[in-house]
Chains A and B, each alone.
Chain A
Amino acid sequence: MKENGMSLIVKRITRITVSLIFMFGVYILLHGHLTPGGGFAGGVIIALSFIHLVLAFGKETAFKRMDQVGASIAESFGGLMFLGIALLGVFAGKEFFLNVLPKGTPFDLFSSGIIILCNIAIFIKVGAGLFAIFVALAIMRIPVDDPGQEDGR
């Protein structure tokens, strides 16, 4: 890309639509135990909102804010959180992966014990992991050490 990102109209509209997509992803996550959706769909939608930001504003501008190292750390944190929630059952004295938190009344936002925490852990993991894949594909190039070397796509 010669100039930084796309044209001015795309940049103005992106500021609005990225926040809408982000909110939609968080909505699908939080109501995962009541309506269709859950952690996987929400995580992929969040990754798509970050990709939308990168595509509209260009590689150099967007990668100053969020880069590959932050995405890797967030993904590892999500995976460890999922394992930690699964180990809660062992620490309470019973089996691995038991549903140990209290289950409130049905159709509430905080009913169903462990399920919403597991959904949040999977959301962080999938979203950060897929964004790290996209960053690796977008910035991949062979560095120009000597002038005869060719740039990657």
Chain B
Amino acid sequence: MSLYILCFILFLLGFYCLLVKQNLIKKIIGFGIMEYAINLFFILLGYRWEGEAPILDKHQVIVNFVDPLPQALILTSIVIGLGITALMVAIVIRIYEKHKSFDINEIRKLRG
């Protein structure tokens, strides 16, 4: 139970960084931290006491596996997170070249 609360604290730290900081790169970092926290929460849900990794073995019979379904879903989510980060960084690089700053107050002021 305390593990879930710590995981939510990580999520809220990322949310704070996304909301309060004025630097565009800090917003990307906050987004990444939120994504790490959510992935960790799903795998915490699927853990089983004294469980083994869900891979069958030739020489021994294992009876106690952890849940493989959250692992399959989060594998997809990790790779999608990489695509999201790449696209955000590409847009931020273009913004920097046009306005010469990462600060969103200055970006809002300049026109054209």
Is the CB of A144 closer than 8 A to any CB of chain B?
no
Flag the segment in A4-12, A15-23, A95-103, A132-140 that touches B.
A132-140
Is the CB of B55 closer than 8 A to any CB of chain A?
yes
Is the CB of B45 closer than 8 A to any CB of chain A?
no
Is the CB of A126 closer than 8 A to any CB of chain B?
yes
- A36 partner residues in chain B, CB cutoff 8 A: 53, 55
The answer to whether A35 and B55 have CB atoms under 8 Å apart is yes
Q: A126-B79, A137-B90 are in contact. Are A152 and B55 (CB under 8 A)?
A: no
Contact with A along B45-76 (1 / 0, CB 8 A): 00000000101101000000000000000010
Is the CB of B20 closer than 8 A to any CB of chain A?
no
Number of interface residues of A (CB under 8 A): 15
Number of interface residues of B (CB under 8 A): 12
The answer to whether B75 and A40 have CB atoms under 8 Å apart is yes
Shortest Cβ distance from B79 into A: residue: A40
Give chain B's interface secondary structure class: helix
- A92 partner residues in chain B, CB cutoff 8 A: none
Q: A36-B53, A40-B75, A126-B79 are in contact. Are A107 and B90 (CB under 8 A)?
A: no
Q: A40-B75, A126-B79, A142-B97 are in contact. Are A133 and B86 (CB under 8 A)?
A: yes
Give the complex CA separation of A40 and B62 in angstroms. Answer: 27
- Residue pairs across A and B with Cβ atoms less than 8 A apart, 14 shown, are A35-B55, A36-B55, A40-B79, A44-B79, A106-B56, A126-B79, A130-B82, A136-B90, A137-B89, A137-B90, A137-B93, A140-B93, A142-B97, A152-B97
Chain A residues in the interface with B (C-beta under 8 A): 35-36, 38, 40, 44, 106-107, 126, 130, 133, 136-137, 140, 142, 152
Chain B residues in the interface with A (C-beta under 8 A): 53, 55-56, 58, 75, 79, 82, 86, 89-90, 93, 97
